[in-house]
Structure 1
Amino acid sequence: MAGVWRWRHNPLRRATDRCEAWLALAAFLMLVLAAPAVGWLCGARTDAALQASVRTQRADRHLTTAVVVRRAAGALHVTDPEISGTSLTRTDVVARWRTPDGAARTATVTTASRNAAPGARVRIWTDRAGDPALRPMDIPTAHTHAVLAGFGAAMLSALLIECVRRLILRRMTGRRYARIDRAWAAVGPDWGRTGTGSQ
């Protein structure tokens, strides 16, 4: 706004100066208004999609009690990245449980239980058929992913606006220099000659 006002009544202003000032003002307004709006819209849509995914996962998966048979070969203690705000150590074990139709099932599963000794009872996630399933995403984690998506979209929008502004400014500067070169080519050959242009 200051640039637009400065060039408003300045006798040295050129048309390109006013255009550059208006371009800077338009880019600033878009950075302040459009980029946050794009970020909010992207974050809101991502959050809605993730919340729907959370509901679907919770409907399809449920906790089942299983009995540890033994530790899995090469079992690893890993931290679950899908749990927001906590660090849960998970261990691979071979466990036995019953499916919803009563059939016995034995497989390698991952548990967050601290007691993974043979014979220990642990809680595992299974799908509707009783097969091992991944733990469903929790709501805080979904919100965190949505916030990150919105922030990323806002930053990309701001970067795009700035790139477009710089490209337009570069083009305007190139045209201004081309006009100066043409004017100089028209006047240059007579520069410094006494009486040039006089009759």
Structure 2
Amino acid sequence: MTRTPPTRVTRVRCWRWHRNPLRRHSDVVEAWIVLATWILVVLGGAFAGTAAALSVDSAFSARRAQVHAETAVLTDDAARTPPAGSGYEDGRVWATVRWTAPDGTVHNDRTKVFPGAPAGSRVTVWTNHSDRLVSAPLSTGEAALQSALTGVLAASSTGVAVWTAGWLVRTCRMRRRLSEWDEEWKRIGPEWRNFSSGGT
């Protein structure tokens, strides 16, 4: 008795893009949905990430342009120990400083300095166009890093959102296709059973 060798099943890659008797219109539509989803994930993510990074970098550049550094001096000795805080303190203490603006006017204000700094110590402070003390801007390196991280986060979020939308569309189409198959089987199922049992 001759044994029939087992049939080897070959998996065809990208079968939805090739003409074959089993390919349906829904398969072609699904293939286009998958392709469009991945294109939008890549391009949309890249565009969103780049736009976000450029926007953040522009904001940091504008912030640096609006402030400038001044050299100030302590008017009194700084406290030797920082006050007990809630955990958000940076180890520095508040002290009064005096500086001379570019127009020659003298200003006094409070800023943070290292504990124990004696009166007359020079510190760098940052002022705005109104000669008011403001927080120091991010350095160029820090701004670049923050912009890059923002861009990566925006690109990832956009990619996930687009992929989720494409997955939902594909899932809805699959459910519709299964519903159509169910309806079609209800229609031809009895005929198939009659044919299989030898009925006429």
Taking structure 2 as the reference length, the TM-score comes to 0.72
1:41 matched to which residue of 2?
A: 51
Q: Which has the larger radius of gyration?
A: 2
Contact 1:110 1:124 in 2 (8 A): no
Aligned length: 180
1:93 matched to which residue of 2?
A: 94
2:188 matched to which residue of 1?
A: 187
Contact 2:76 2:119 in 1 (8 A): yes
1:175 matched to which residue of 2?
A: 176
Q: Is 1:64–2:71 an aligned residue pair?
A: yes
1:30 matched to which residue of 2?
A: 40
1:164 Cα offset (Å): 1.3
Q: For 1:186 and 1:6, how far apart are their aligned partners in 2?
A: 27
1:86 matched to which residue of 2?
A: none
Q: 2:133 is aligned with what amino acid?
A: P
Say what the alpha-carbon RMSD is for the aligned residues.
3.0
1:160 matched to which residue of 2?
A: 161
Taking structure 1 as the reference length, the TM-score comes to 0.73
Residues 99-123 of structure 1, C-alpha deviation per residue, up to 9 Å, x if partnerless? 5354462x43113x68723443333
What secondary structure, in the 3-state scheme, does the structure 1 residue paired with 2:92 have?
Answer: strand
Q: For 2:83 and 2:130, how far apart are their aligned partners in 1?
A: 27
Matches within 5 A, 1:110-121: 110-111=112-113, 116-121=117-122
Contact 1:43 1:146 in 2 (8 A): yes
Q: For 2:156 and 2:14, how far apart are their aligned partners in 1?
A: 26
Q: For 2:130 and 2:45, how far apart are their aligned partners in 1?
A: 46
Q: For 1:152 and 1:117, how far apart are their aligned partners in 2?
A: 45
1:182 Cα offset (Å): 0.9
Contact 2:73 2:122 in 1 (8 A): yes
Question: In percent, how many aligned pairs have the same letter?
Answer: 25
Structure 1 runs not aligned, ≥5 long: 79-89
1:162 Cα offset (Å): 0.7
Q: 1:32 is aligned with what amino acid?
A: V
Contact 2:50 2:151 in 1 (8 A): yes
Which shows bigger deviation, 16-25 or 2-11?
2-11
> Residues 195 and 140 (structure 1 numbering): CA distance in 2 closer, same or farther, change over 3 Å?
same
Structure 2 counterpart of 1:109, from 108, 111, 128:
111
Q: For 1:103 and 1:116, how far apart are their aligned partners in 2?
A: 21
1:45 Cα offset (Å): 2.8
Q: For 1:128 and 1:183, how far apart are their aligned partners in 2?
A: 76
Which shows bigger deviation, 171-180 or 23-32?
23-32
> Residues 180 and 129 (structure 1 numbering): CA distance in 2 closer, same or farther, change over 3 Å?
closer
